[in-house]
């Protein structure tokens, strides 16, 4: 496994919410990230498809991994927008994000989220976000 993917998995492992959900980082290269999540019953809403908050979480994290690796500095999400295009029905969610533009202070990133079922992958959401470089920490 390459060093960047290993580092990304360590970072993901430090996020207790990501650990709680069972999120996996399956690909990471400069400006590109793929997060996957098994769609368990407790992540579904009353109609049986993935809760919108789960899709938003995946988009947020995938966008941030893509932006952070493109900028090669510690980052946070500044903002993002998500469009839900159809119900997320299946056994797994896959979020593929890439940096569209990266500067010194921010990156603009795009993310497509797919639901995987026996029929294959179906696009369920599209997101775009701005990822910002974190300011240096002040010593206390």
DSSP 128: E
Mean pLDDT in residue range 79-107: 97
Q: What is the mean pLDDT of residues 119-123?
A: 96
Average pLDDT, the chain: 95
| pLDDT for 140 | 65
* pLDDT greater than 60 at residue 128: yes
Residue 63 main-chain phi, psi, to 5 deg: -60, -40
Confidence of residue 1 (pLDDT cuts 50, 70, 90): low
> What per-residue confidence (pLDDT) applies to 138?
76
Fold of the CATH domain 3-133? Thiol Ester Dehydrase; Chain A (3.10.129)
> Any idea where the domains of the chain sit in the sequence?
3-133
Question: Does 61 score more than 90 pLDDT?
Answer: yes
Q: What is the mean pLDDT of residues 5-15?
A: 95
pLDDT at position 33, please?
Answer: 98
Which residues contact residue 113 at a Cβ distance below 8 angstroms, ignoring those fewer than 6 apart?
A: 55, 58, 59, 62, 88, 93, 94, 95, 96, 123, 124, 125, 126, 127
Mean pLDDT of 50-70: 97
């Amino acid at each position: 496994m390459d060093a960047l993917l290993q580092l990304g998995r360590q970072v993901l492992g430090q996020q207790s919410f990501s650990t709680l959900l069972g999120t996996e980082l399956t690909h990471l290269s400069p400006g590109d990230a793929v997060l996957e999540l098994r769609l368990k019953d407790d992540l579904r809403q009353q109609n049986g498809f993935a809760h919108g908050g789960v899709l938003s979480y995946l988009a947020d994290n995938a966008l941030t991994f893509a932006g952070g690796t493109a900028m090669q500095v510690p980052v946070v999400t500044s903002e993002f927008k998500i469009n839900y295009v159809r119900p997320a029905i299946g056994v797994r969610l896959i979020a593929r994000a890439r940096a569209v533009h990266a500067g010194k202070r921010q990156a603009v990133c795009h993310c497509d989220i797919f639901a995987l079922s026996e029929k294959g992958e179906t696009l369920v959401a599209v997101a775009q976000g701005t990822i910002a470089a974190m300011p240096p920490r002040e010593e206390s």
